[in-house]
Structure formats: C-alpha cells, structure tokens
C-alpha cells in the first residue's frame, strides 16, 4: 500500500508544531535553518532530536568531530526570522536578529523564546532526512511570558490564551 506525497503532506499539515531555528558552527562556518521537526527525547540524560533534509547545507556542520547545534525556539513575533532562515539563500542569514554564542560555540538567538545548546549525540539516516539527537549541555527560558510561534495548516499561527 502506498500513499501519495500530497496526501501525506495534507495529513501532516493538520499537526501543529513549534517553530525553531536550528543553528550550527564549525570553525569559522555557521549556518542555520528553520525547523518544525523538533522533539524532546529524554529528560535523563537530557536529549532532543531534530530532523533535517540530507540535502540541506547545514549537514556538514553537524557531522564533524565534536559537532554541536542550538535549537532556538521562536516566539510569536519572530515570523520574519523564521522566513529568513527558511528562504534566504545567498546572503548571511544571521544579519538579522541578535546573536551570541553558546558554550559549545553554536549561535544563539538572544531574544528567542528559549534555546537549547547541544552536542551531537548520534545521527540516524531516515529516508530523505537525518535524525540528529543532541545531548543538551545548556538551556535558557528567555521570554517565559510570551507565546510560541506555531506552524499549522501551512502557515504560522499564534496560540490563543486558554
């Protein structure tokens, strides 16, 4: 039994997901991308996972010795950055936003909703993507009062107060 690519995407478009910018640095090279495929894996030890297309330019930075990455959880008012890190191709994506370095050296968005600084624990190919599991070395909740940016039905959304 097979499913069409369109039917698969249509079904998944109804699953809301938080929006993050995953960043990585290796030497003087840095890169970042918008990701909604992010999940907590374990609390003890603290592990998270991100799922990244194998064709994406960030992959070489995640495969080296002592590779690291940061997950920057975006707030509802950071749609412009989400688009920048999803669509800008030929210029430095980091020209917008306030960026600093985490302990591992990964770029951190200073005013993200929250961030997690990770060392690559493992990488597992899965179809057209790779699942990167990160061992969390540091984290910070920066804007506890704000709502996250959410992706649902092929567009950005903001959670309504409950």
Please state, in angstroms and rounded to a whole number, the distance separating the CA atoms of residues 6 and 11.
9
Q: How confident is the model at residue 128 (pLDDT cuts 50, 70, 90)?
A: very high
Q: Are strands 20-26 and 99-101 parallel, antiparallel or unpaired?
A: unpaired
Q: Are 148 and 71 in contact (CB under 8 A)?
A: no
7-154 to CATH, choices 2.30.110.10, 2.60.120.620, 3.30.450.20, 2.60.40.60: 2.30.110.10
Q: Are 32 and 25 in contact (CB under 8 A)?
A: no
Q: Is the pLDDT of residue 162 over 70?
A: no
Q: How confident is the model at residue 89 (pLDDT cuts 50, 70, 90)?
A: confident
Mean pLDDT of 29-58: 97
Mean pLDDT of the chain: 95
């Amino acid at each position: 039994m097979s499913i069409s690519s369109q039917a698969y995407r249509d079904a998944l478009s109804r699953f809301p997901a938080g929006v993050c910018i995953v960043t990585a640095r290796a030497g003087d090279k840095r890169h970042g991308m918008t990701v909604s495929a992010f999940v907590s894996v374990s609390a003890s030890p603290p592990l998270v996972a991100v799922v990244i297309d194998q064709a994406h330019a960030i992959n070489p930075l995640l495969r080296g010795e002592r590779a690291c990455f940061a997950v920057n959880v975006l707030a509802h008012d950071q749609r412009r950055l989400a688009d920048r890190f999803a669509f800008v191709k030929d210029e430095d994506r980091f020209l917008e936003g306030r960026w600093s370095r985490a302990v591992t050296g990964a770029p951190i968005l200073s005013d993200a909703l929250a961030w997690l600084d990770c060392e690559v624990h493992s990488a597992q190919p899965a179809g057209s993507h790779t699942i990167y599991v990160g061992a969390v070395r540091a984290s910070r909740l920066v804007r506890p009062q704000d709502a996250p940016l959410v992706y649902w039905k092929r567009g950005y959304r903001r959670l309504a107060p409950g």
